[in-house]
Chain A
Amino acid sequence: MGKLFAVVVTIITLVSTAIFASHIWWLPVDISAHGHAIDRQLTETMVTSGVLFVLSQLALAVFAWRYGDRRDGRAVKTFPGGAAPMVVFATLLVGAEILALTFVGSKVWAGIYQSPAGPNALEIDVQAEQFAFYFRYAGADGRFGAVHPERIDEASGNFLGLDPANDTTARDDIVVPTLAVPVNRPILLTMRAKDVNHAFYVPELRIQQDVVPGLVIPLHFTATDTGKHEIVCTQLCGLGHYNMRAYIEVMSQAQFDQWLKERAAEQ
């Protein structure tokens, strides 16, 4: 029975590790400026924990194989050094690994969430709601109009509750369901929720942020490659949560200017 346990654990360990290592299911291509740091941190963690995983499972397997009771009257043996090697290993090696990861990781994190957007950032206002995302560009005046929840009217397409009649800054705002951004340019999203918690997640951009009612949350990134990717909601927001998505289209600055002009005309 001990030998069977050892074999099963070994097979499970090797198969699951192989699948991790083979990247059959893996992160999509990274198209963000900050993403490589996250990917590197992930890979390092995967290697260290992979080693720990394999070693501990194999130790379990080997001991289960070897130390069955063979009814031969032999005495039991204490692990050499007793508990001390365990304490030392865990504290020193795991401790060192933790320190290293925290030191590096906190810098990566701060670079995304605790720093201002780059210079010349394009500011885009985001409203998350049950069950859609809307994106607002400031228009020619470069300023966003105020939003008034009581003025929201889905039927007439006033998703944000703007008041263009009385608010000049709102008149040229461009509200669309697609997030178009120019490539290689810092983007600053300011995110609001209309009703309940939502979240903004683009795996390829290595970026995620909850959108909380009552708060305005900034999020910045720079996309480094053109293409179209899905934006999905990751915070349970109701029955349409699974279907709440938008698209981000990264295009050249020239294409973006053209796109914006067309959208402005449609408003």
Chain B
Amino acid sequence: MVPPAAPPPTAAPRTASEPSPLEAAQTGVWLAIGTICMSFAALTSAMVVRQGAAPDWRHFQLPHILYANTLVLLTSSGTLEWSRRRIAAVPVGTASLVPGLEGLSGVYLTLALGLLFVTGQVIAWRQLAAQGLFLATAPSSAFFYVFTALHGLHVVGGLAALLYVLRRLRRMAGPVPRVALRAAALYWHFMGALWLYLLVILATRV
């Protein structure tokens, strides 16, 4: 057997890479989206199985405020996307952003709408409780509370992320905070999409 010679020097292969650290935040959020989807998928199948396991489901009407909350959340996605594009249009290297003119106001508005959404969800809970529907009342109400609570917790996390990004943007609108804003926006839009999904399954099953 011929002994192997020294391996030939490798020219830059087709898959040679450069580090792309600015992509990291976006990658991280996509992964977070994937894992959150998986959690809600598990809960969805738990709901389907539970509904079929016993005849005690007990359907009820979703509080109407949920639909208003949906509009609020979707609007907040719109405002965030608007401000993200405005800020992205500002040339890099601008020392700081003038609040209100370059899109920061959109971020403030998004925050406010996000808070409004969470408040609206809490009101929905109070309305259900007033009807006598609590966590342990029926499997349908149990899943309603679990789904909306977990989604709401993730929304609050998104609000915290937006606050953090806002603080950095106000200090310096360099490439790093813009990347963070893009990632936070992606997460926020996902919160909206996830809510739409939850609304559909709750409306059709609960």
Check A-B contact in the complex, CB < 8 A: yes
A interface majority secondary structure: loop
Interface string of B1-43 (1 = CB under 8 A from A): 1011000000000000000000000000000000000000000
Total chain B interface residues with beta-carbon distance under 8 A: 4
Number of A-B contacts (CB under 8 A): 9
- Tell yes or no: A70 within 8 A of B by CB: no
Residues from chain A with Cβ under 8 Å of B3 in the complex: 75-76
Interface string of A126-149 (1 = CB under 8 A from B): 000000000000000000000000
Q: Number of contact residues on A: which range applies?
A: under 10
CA distance A76 to B4 in the complex (A): 8
Interface string of B82-122 (1 = CB under 8 A from A): 00000000000000000000000000000000000000000
Residues from chain B with Cβ under 8 Å of A76 in the complex: 3-4
- Tell yes or no: A78 within 8 A of B by CB: yes
CA distance A139 to B53 in the complex (A): 32
Shortest C-beta distance, A18 to chain B (Å), equals 37
Shortest C-beta distance, B7 to chain A (Å), equals 13
Residues from chain B with Cβ under 8 Å of A77 in the complex: 1
CA distance A77 to B3 in the complex (A): 7
Residues from chain B with Cβ under 8 Å of A78 in the complex: 1, 4
Residues from chain B with Cβ under 8 Å of A214 in the complex: 53
Write the residues of chain B forming the contact surface with A, with a CB cutoff of 8 angstroms.
1, 3-4, 53
7 other A-B residue contacts (CB within 8 Å) besides A75-B1, A214-B53: A75-B3, A75-B4, A76-B3, A76-B4, A77-B1, A78-B1, A78-B4
Write the residues of chain A forming the contact surface with B, with a CB cutoff of 8 angstroms.
75-78, 214
Chain A to chain B: the 8 pairs with minimum beta-carbon distance, closest first = A75-B3, A77-B1, A75-B4, A78-B1, A76-B3, A78-B4, A76-B4, A75-B1
